[in-house]
Amino acid sequence: MKVFAGNSNRRLAESICNYLNVPLGKASVRRFADQEIFVEIQENVRGEDVFVVQSTSYPTNDNLMELLIMIDAFRRSSAKRITAVIPYFGYARQDRRASGRTPISAKLVANLITEAGADRVLTLDLHAGQIQGFFDIPTDNLFAVPLLARDVKDRYAKGSLMVVSPDVGGVVRARALSKRIDPQSTLAIVDKRRERPGESEVMNVIGDIAGKDCLLIDDIVDSGGTLCNAAEALLAKGATSVTAYITHGVLSGGAVARVASSMLKELVITDSIQPTQEVLSAPNIRVISTDTLIGEAINRTAAEQSVSSLFD
């Protein structure tokens, strides 16, 4: 087994290697003067089980091309098996035709990764579960819920908590977290209307959240507008505090400043996307690592053991 990384999230790749007790593979991923990407694998990988760690986060297209070119380099270097480890799968929000004459970009990206030569894909909290079916190769979608639940149990008293879904579509994810914290607990839902991408208007809160410490759970935070509006609505309905647990901290544009000045007690994100210095310096944003989760999944994949049993 050999683990390599592109430039998108080297810190996470190094942490995964520390967990696995293997060195990070030697590879050069650099740019020519015209910004073409050039990859050189600097050690023998013939007959090896290779794992390439690369989130397709901002700059999305550059990081995606790095992943594709690295996969091609390993294929041409006679690696036995190539697994694309994609902690954050970009383009996942374009998983269907929401209107006429639009692409299904998530399917296109899946095709590109497959055609480049990947034999397997390992990813984390896909925006939509059906994206697994876009790949014609084995795909393992890991869940961050056990990781988030462990953090919640370490910091909150069970009886005062209420897990809240920021929209109807996230109820399944919210229920999974709620059951791990307290099997007898109930959920609340924020009913919102989105007028256009990146903007949302909170309409109503479904559920009794008065006197509760509310935990908003979602897979992606991008502009932060939905979370900040939801926090205001929950506090207006009598919540004691509002904390958000989100897997992928995209946090584009002025999102970090928006969260820092919001009524959120804390935003907890994972390192599936390498946090910027602005994120690390924000007073109410905390990052927890996925290195153990992804590292164990890599270990089990290499040993041909069950990955799904991680979540039993």
The annotation places the binding site for ATP at: 34-36, 93-94
Q: Which of 192, 212, 237, 265 is catalytic?
A: 192
Is 153 catalytic? The answer is: no
| Of the candidates 188, 232, 233, the residue with the CA atom closest to the CA atom of residue 209 | 188
Beta strands of 44-119 (E only): which ranges? 49-53, 81-86
**Dist. CA 223–CA 1, nearest whole Å:** 38
Backbone angles phi, psi at 119, to 5 degrees: -95, -25
* DSSP symbol at 261: T
Strand partners, 127: none
User: Taking phi first (over 0 means left), then psi (-120 to 50 degrees means alpha), and beta for anything else, what does residue 304 get?
Assistant: left
Residue 140 tokens, joined: 């393992």
Q: At what angle do helices 171-181 and 145-155 cross, to 10 degrees?
A: 50
Residue pointed to by tokens 């430039």: 7
Known binding site: residues?
Answer: 34-36, 93-94, 127, 167, 194, 218, 222-226
Q: Are 234 and 205 in contact (CB under 8 A)?
A: yes
* Three-state SS at 245: strand
Q: Which residues are catalytic?
A: 192
